[in-house]
Chain A
């Protein structure tokens, strides 16, 4: 990638993150009135309050307050969670790995599932199977993940109980891991039985989150592949006697992948947003579930920290997608 492109992308990421910070500051600090009221533990003395007020510079004008607040946030000082009585950063870092592993797993599933749908439906073009897959794709897209998740709970967790529907791992298994990256650390340490258990717990929530994304990927990939399949070089490949499967995978899929991947990046942020409700349905201990508890308890320091965390993830994902797109599409490299 050209250095100027990297610079401009990084700059726009910083601007976006700054925008998120301004919104959070306005909503959390200015709208509800006295910000001190949400930072102190209940029952603090007047002297403590006055000290805190001076510490956070609340006698200053509002733009200076914003700068002070920004400084604190950049130093990682998000304050103390009211409901959990722990540092906000500590709480978030403890729960974040669970969400990250789930989101990445769901993304991988959506990519595999979406490509599979597109490949089968392209290979079967003109037949009843294609019609069936297209209709199924429409249903996957039209039904919201909230309903999918609960349906999976009901069908695969209760009626035919094959998969766990709550939590992240079997509490009776003590893997003795030191980090919260269960899959990553489990694989590195060779605790495959534990990893298998964690994967089983992740399967239904990840499936729920991957469904809408897989439908979108499947549709776009199929449309581009159908366009590609009538191109001259596909005809040439056929004349050369390549097998249909090889043409489909090597020629069509490779050329159709770029637009689908660009779209995946945009949709991935929605998938991460979807963790909030999916984690709730499956009692999964990630930051999405934490966010809902924070709102129910009106734990404003925690909400503030979580929104900034989500914002940072979104910005990071967007940057990664831009870089990936530039790497895949040579024309963008010098744009």
Chain B
């Protein structure tokens, strides 16, 4: 059992969001899309049924906040996992096979990381069109390098250790050594990166929906709510504040979970 409270705190908050996303229709007090112009821009507490107020179209902020967890977490899990799979695969190939493989993949990573992510994501969304698939694709295409770079270095290190040598001496195939012997030892590093990447994915999705390049505006998203709140900021600050705070806490939770995992899984840091 990990003793680090950051794992429990971060993981607990994410679990809470996950439950909110799954049971959104059950726990939301209102339909997140239901407009009621008679009760538009009501401040928190003004009407007891709208606990944290309503937006400019009279939609319940809390219900929208809960439903928006769905997009945020879907993008976080799917995009981070895909980026992780692609980056890990290429990183392990480069780190274990070395030579020509390593040279090519490393060069690719260098070029990729020199290209500013904002430009790449603009170009990608421009070509692919808006929508959740484009958002996920953009995150995967841009962020696989984060995994590839670290996994490559880690694999290289593991490949030099005695157990790999022993496995080679026993006559195991290179594929078996790579995936059966080395991979389990790289997994801790990957888990830490995965958690951090999910935090990044949540932010990227929020930014893209803030500027109107993510899902269509009928689907509630934190970024979309923030954009609406930004427009009526002088009349109704709460439309912006609550999704912003939720977004902040979510990113913080993924970061804390990642840092906690790093501490817990790394035997070098444990001492």
Q: Do the two chains belong together in a single complex?
A: yes
Please list the residues of chain A having a beta carbon within 8 angstroms of any beta carbon in chain B: 16, 19-20, 23-24, 27-28, 31-32, 142-144, 146-147, 150-151, 153-154, 157-159, 165, 269-270, 272-274, 276-277, 280-281, 291-292, 294-296, 298, 300, 303, 306-307, 310-311, 314
- Describe B's contact surface by its main secondary structure: helix
Residues in A whose Cβ lies below 8 Å from that of B151: none
Question: Nearest chain-A residue to B114 (Cβ)?
Answer: A16
Decide: A296 and B123 in contact? CB cutoff 8 A: no
Residues in B whose Cβ lies below 8 Å from that of A272: 116
- Describe A's contact surface by its main secondary structure: helix
Q: A32-B127, A147-B247 are in contact. Are A295 and B122 (CB under 8 A)?
A: yes
User: Shortest CB–CB separation between residue B253 and chain A, in angstroms?
Assistant: 12
Interchain CA distance A247-B237 in the complex, whole Å: 48
A-B residue pair count with CB separations less than 8 angstroms: 93
B230 interface neighbour in A150, A273, A294, Cβ under 8 Å: A150
Residues in B whose Cβ lies below 8 Å from that of A277: 118, 207, 210-211
Decide: B127 and A292 in contact? CB cutoff 8 A: no
Question: Nearest chain-B residue to A157 (Cβ)?
Answer: B233
User: Shortest CB–CB separation between residue B173 and chain A, in angstroms?
Assistant: 37
The answer to whether B248 has its CB under 8 Å from any CB of chain A is yes
Interchain CA distance A306-B122 in the complex, whole Å: 10
Q: Which 3 residue pairs are nearest across A and B when measured between Cβ atoms?
A: A273-B118, A273-B116, A295-B126
Decide: B116 and A310 in contact? CB cutoff 8 A: yes
Interchain CA distance A272-B111 in the complex, whole Å: 18
Which B residues between 118 and 155 are near A, CB-CB below 8 angstroms? 118-119, 122-127, 129-130
Decide: A143 and B237 in contact? CB cutoff 8 A: no
Decide: B244 and A295 in contact? CB cutoff 8 A: no
A144 interface neighbour in B129, B130, B203, B234, Cβ under 8 Å: B203
Decide: A147 and B248 in contact? CB cutoff 8 A: yes
Residues in A whose Cβ lies below 8 Å from that of B206: 146
Decide: A27 and B116 in contact? CB cutoff 8 A: no
- Known contacts A146-B210, A292-B211; can you find 7 more A-B pairs with CB under 8 A? A20-B115, A143-B248, A295-B122, A295-B126, A296-B130, A296-B212, A307-B123
The answer to whether B63 has its CB under 8 Å from any CB of chain A is no
A147 interface neighbour in B211, B213, B230, B251, Cβ under 8 Å: B251
Decide: A280 and B210 in contact? CB cutoff 8 A: yes
User: Shortest CB–CB separation between residue A146 and chain B, in angstroms?
Assistant: 5
Q: A31-B127, A295-B126 are in contact. Are A310 and B119 (CB under 8 A)?
A: yes
Q: Mark B199-220, 1 if CB is under 8 A from A, else 0.
A: 0000100110011110000000
Q: Mark B238-258, 1 if CB is under 8 A from A, else 0.
A: 001100100110011001000
Residues in B whose Cβ lies below 8 Å from that of A150: 226, 230, 240, 244
Residues in A whose Cβ lies below 8 Å from that of B226: 150
Q: A146-B203, A150-B226, A270-B116 are in contact. Are A24 and B233 (CB under 8 A)?
A: no
* Of listed B206, B210, B230, B241, residue having the most chain A CB within 10 A: B230
Interchain CA distance A82-B261 in the complex, whole Å: 50
The answer to whether B44 has its CB under 8 Å from any CB of chain A is no
Residues in B whose Cβ lies below 8 Å from that of A294: 126
Question: Nearest chain-B residue to A151 (Cβ)?
Answer: B244
Residues in A whose Cβ lies below 8 Å from that of B230: 150, 153, 281
